[in-house]
Structure 1
């Protein structure tokens, strides 16, 4: 009896030790994934879209902040994100809020990727290799400019939840699939919504029709399950705000706004005719790799993930067909193209390639015999190439040492500026924004340079219009387009006195911030900055003539 009790206690302790060891390994793996994300995307804030999303989030929590700004005060589409990630703006700076959001968003991605990878590849730390392939594939193989690992915005937590949904999909846990993906749609309705469609494609191919004793049976349980309704209810938190923004617009305004959005402002993400041919080629290589791996893999776990990837690529194929409509039905095409048909394929196809490649390389029993050696050899080259590409991207951004939103790679016409020139211009940008924040009232509205995107972030003052900050609701979007065409049709704001007086009366704007590299060192206006001992070779502030 005593011996049996002792033996049972030892077995229990061994089990507990094993479970503790496994959990420790998972925690370390997640921590290493977050370290990888930090090394790759830990640039100074704000990242490209952080100045866009967090400015909106700050106004969501404090409606008086930049309340005169067309973009900041316009309708809020991503209210779940603003509510959950924007509240720190009440207590800390925008930069601190960005880092809090990054940590949470990267943690969600890391947990989701770790869980998904372990569902397919029973090798500790395999998710690190998958992550490198995924990051490289998204950056260098996208079709429409999508990214996943970067600064914080609504799609980052959404993709983290999609990854959890994919882990459930691999194991046929359909209740959880719909729940996680519905939660993703609450953050970003398109990211989560397209994922639901792709998951339904997977279900239709792998689950819906089964043959038993020569008879076809239709399996509806995975669709008509509680998770679908729970996920649908969660998705309403993302869907209803988006519908609310469009509900008040007339038919004419809806069409006009869609054309501005699809054909002008976001055409580089939405309109296939605007994609360079090289983007088609590079993404086509990824899709071909996914199809080849899907053919080579024969196990059911890989098959379900593969068909989800096919669903994502199929959505993009529909988008390409819609992209043929503008010449014959431009209004309908503009309204349809707004739905980011290529977003999911950009994010998912590289992920599926990385997972299937690694599963095929290190779980060779799941490959057809004639494919084993080829896949393993190719995998080694791809892993090495992905490490090189991610390392190069990290080096390129790190050597500049300024936020991506302030990089001259985005701010035309200085895409070829040297590192020294970019750092000097950024220091001058910080200086002029700091001066405006201190010297001007909180309700001030300014004219600002055309392609900058971080004025509100640093100066915390409203601006008449800029290229990046495009509103989501139809009325504000049409007004944005009108302002942009009126005020900033060229690289510089006009210095015609009559027009400047009109701007003063129409927008309540008294001052103009200019890029002196474009306007020259001096304008025939009253300069208020820099003055006396102040030095700023890149930017200046002028007072507009009164009516």
Structure 2
């Protein structure tokens, strides 16, 4: 029997008049998880690698096999996500990177699916509600995110972290605080920011729900527990055990900042926050549309504010359900409070940029981007599945809930169709490479085939320790060619010292031309003196050229360099490889 301190809701709630044990036996839970994984596959069925998979898995492969791209600047830089590398990287010893990615996807999706099922169960939603909740959640993130966050896609550290965090959230919903701290600690081990922000949000939720029951009714907010129920303790051994688990994610992250001066740390923060990732970190750079779409989600959240429902035949169940929904709601509000702090920090960039970039790197909007649409989805389904007796049911909210489901289905279907239609990895689509307008699927498949042909030639024809200069508009050279690069826009290191070197290398190679920033103005200059300098500085012999970027007016074959690919009967319309000039600059 649960103690009166915890007073958790029933672990196996009865959703109908019969079959309690059968409906929530483990095999029923497994079926829900399998259904969720199938939904994820429909949505993210594009081949690996997805946008961040190459970034994560090449480091994971090097973690287990130090000879892999051992002379690549990024691969050998500081490793922030060691738990992920250790637990998800070992398949690279036996399988290809693509197979490893799919193994990781399926495991991580199953973890997220289990966490979501647990949330639905503790809200007493009908069996298999997690499937429609998942559809609405995925659509809500896609169409309503504020800072570019996503959960379902490729495999990276935050995906299993979200899976564990959702189990922790389900414990918060069920008022099982002690268990929640353990799950959030495990989440932090995989991704310290994802799990860490969950701890902060849960702590805020705890204070409101366990210490604020006296004043919540006066604010016309839903109470999360009966005033006669004993408040739960905050400090417990599970809280400290969760903190100990979080050290597996925290310590590697802290180690990345060692050995640099305050000035260098500030400069590195500017590079990371205002140069490389302002679209995730600095709200002053976000388009107005991002504010509007996320505001729409917040409005929906407030419209479906948990309301008291009463079933005379199920008094305790009604009370448990109301309290569970209230705790979910306050957790979501806590994520919005965190995001609000991020807004204040971000807008301080106008008068104190050093302060703003130093703090903005903690991704203040990450958790709200994921939790707000999830909460909306859960509350919408709860609204439609509940049948309150004593409280009138507004017709407008009924229509809005059903409209949200219809819109979610449309958005989800559109995303799934786009993923399948192109038939190439998301990381190789023009839209995600900054190559202007996105052409049709046929054109992109042809250019992707050229990219594979180039990488295959590099992998077969060059030594394993070869280093290449590669085009700015790509992120998968190491994935396919398995050779080192001088620098890569996507592969930005996370330790301060390497960040400074990354920026130096990037500016050295990709010297921006005069005029507006376009596809043609960010490219390696064809200048003998500079190319000799590259060869001497980085020990690089070869340069991969994107023929579309050489010049909008010149033919690629007119370059005054020795072409080594394609030659003879080899064909490649999109990419070429040239040998850099050698000798001494005068």
**Could you state the TM-score of these two structures normalised by the residue count of structure 1?**
0.94
The one of 176, 183, 187 aligned to 1:184: 187
Separation of aligned partners in 2, 1:468 and 1:327 = 27
Whether the 8 Å contact between 1:246 and 1:254 is mirrored in structure 2 is: yes
Whether the 8 Å contact between 1:297 and 1:303 is mirrored in structure 2 is: no
Cα 1:126–1:194 change in 2 (3 A) is same
**Alignment gaps of 5+ in structure 1:** 1-15
Separation of aligned partners in 2, 1:228 and 1:288 = 33
Could you say which structure has the higher helix fraction?
1
Deviations 1:104-147 (A, max 9, x none): 10010111111111211331111111001100000100000000
Corresponding residue for 1:4? none
Separation of aligned partners in 2, 1:412 and 1:164 = 37
Separation of aligned partners in 2, 1:354 and 1:224 = 32
Corresponding residue for 1:451? 473
Separation of aligned partners in 2, 1:303 and 1:256 = 43
Cα 1:483–1:123 change in 2 (3 A) is same
Cα 1:468–1:297 change in 2 (3 A) is farther
Cα 1:256–1:218 change in 2 (3 A) is farther
Instruction: Say whether residues 1:329 and 2:340 are aligned partners.
Output: no
Q: Cα distance, 1:300 vs. partner? A: 1.1
Separation of aligned partners in 2, 1:231 and 1:22 = 28
Whether the 8 Å contact between 1:364 and 1:372 is mirrored in structure 2 is: no
Whether the 8 Å contact between 2:548 and 2:574 is mirrored in structure 1 is: yes
Whether the 8 Å contact between 1:66 and 1:72 is mirrored in structure 2 is: yes
Deviations 1:76-98 (A, max 9, x none): 00000001001111111100110
Corresponding residue for 1:77? 80
State how 1:49-64 maps to structure 2 within 5 Å.
49-64=52-67
The one of 297, 303, 307 aligned to 2:330: 307
Corresponding residue for 2:279? 268
The one of 552, 556, 578 aligned to 1:521: 556
Corresponding residue for 2:314? none
**Could you state the TM-score of these two structures normalised by the residue count of structure 2?**
0.87
Separation of aligned partners in 2, 1:297 and 1:372 = 14
Q: Cα distance, 1:372 vs. partner? A: 4.3
Instruction: Say whether residues 1:19 and 2:50 are aligned partners.
Output: no
Separation of aligned partners in 2, 1:413 and 1:518 = 10
Separation of aligned partners in 1, 2:19 and 2:151 = 36
Q: Cα distance, 1:433 vs. partner? A: 0.3
RMSD of aligned alpha carbons: 1.9
**Alignment gaps of 5+ in structure 2:** 1-17, 216-226, 310-321, 513-521
Instruction: Give the secondary-structure state (helix, strand or coil) at the position aligned to 2:545.
Output: strand
Instruction: Say whether residues 1:533 and 2:569 are aligned partners.
Output: yes
The one of 350, 356, 378 aligned to 1:355: 378
Instruction: Give the secondary-structure state (helix, strand or coil) at the position aligned to 1:326.
Output: helix
Whether the 8 Å contact between 1:296 and 1:371 is mirrored in structure 2 is: no
